[in-house]
Amino acid sequence: MFLGYDWPRFHAAVNDLPAALLTFAVLFELAAWLLKRESLRWAAIWTLWAGVLGGWVAVLAGEQAEDIIDHGEGIHELMELHEKLALITMTIFTVILVWQLWRRFNPNRVETAILRVLMIAGVGVLFATGKIGGQMYFDHAAGVPTATMKAELEDRARGHHHHPGEADDDHDHDHDAAPPSADSGH
């Protein structure tokens, strides 16, 4: 694509910032409400703007990545759910932003209460979207080409040795091994 990024890597590079911005937009809005601070309300509006714009970039990059990553049925099902949740998330936050624009950032009390509830719901769906995305990557290696994964599995099968002075993770994280017995000298 550009700058050394293909679509999967670009999606990974651009999806965290919008998620953080949308989360902070909600936090700023709630803080503005609780603390009665206009400055926090404007912080919410500006982070909402940036989060919505960046979020749609992440969604579009994800749509492109979906078409080119190696995957099987398990990842495909998770991708479909991730995509659906991302679209719901972005629709919620886009509706909030458009409503704010339409009302010139001055909705009435009832509308404001509804928008706050929608924001909280939006963050809930956003977190679910991220959880599924993480599950695809960390549990199923989505985005890792099959040839790369095969080479990595072969490398891991050969094992590794720590140099003197380095922590030996193998013993700390070996959950399958039986615990040392009292007479084993450990």
How crowded is residue 49: how many other Cβ atoms within 10 Å of its Cβ?
A: 15
User: Is the pLDDT higher at 111 or at 179?
Assistant: 111
Q: What is the three-class DSSP state of 2?
A: strand
Across 51-64, average pLDDT = 96
Instruction: Determine whether 165 is exposed, middle or buried from the number of CB atoms within 10 Å of its CB (0-12, 13-18, 19+).
Output: exposed
- Cα dihedral value 63, 101, 112, 35, nearest 10: 100
- Is the separation of the CB atoms in 14 and 54 below 8 Å? yes
Q: Is 22 exposed, middle or buried (0-12, 13-18, 19+ CB in 10 A)?
A: buried
Show the tokens assigned to 34.
């609780």
Going by pLDDT thresholds of 50, 70 and 90, the confidence category of residue 168 is low
Statement: residue 45 has pLDDT above 70:
yes
pLDDT score recorded for residue 126: 98
What is the predicted pLDDT for the residue at 184?
A: 47
Helices (H) and strands (E) in the chain, counts: 8, 0
Structure confidence at residue 171 (pLDDT): 55
- Three-state secondary-structure class, residue 5: strand
Average pLDDT in the 26-31 region?
Answer: 97
- Please give the angle made by the CA atoms of 38, 39 and 41, to the nearest 5 degrees: 65
Count of Cβ atoms closer than 10 Å to residue 25 Cβ:
26
Average pLDDT (149-158) is: 90
How many angstroms separate the CA atoms of 14 and 117, rounded? 26
Residue 50 has pLDDT above 90, yes or no: yes
Contact 116, 29 (CB under 8 A): yes
- Looking at residue 134, its amino acid is G
Q: What is the pTM of this model?
A: 0.80
Strand partners, 5: 2
DSSP character at residue 137: I
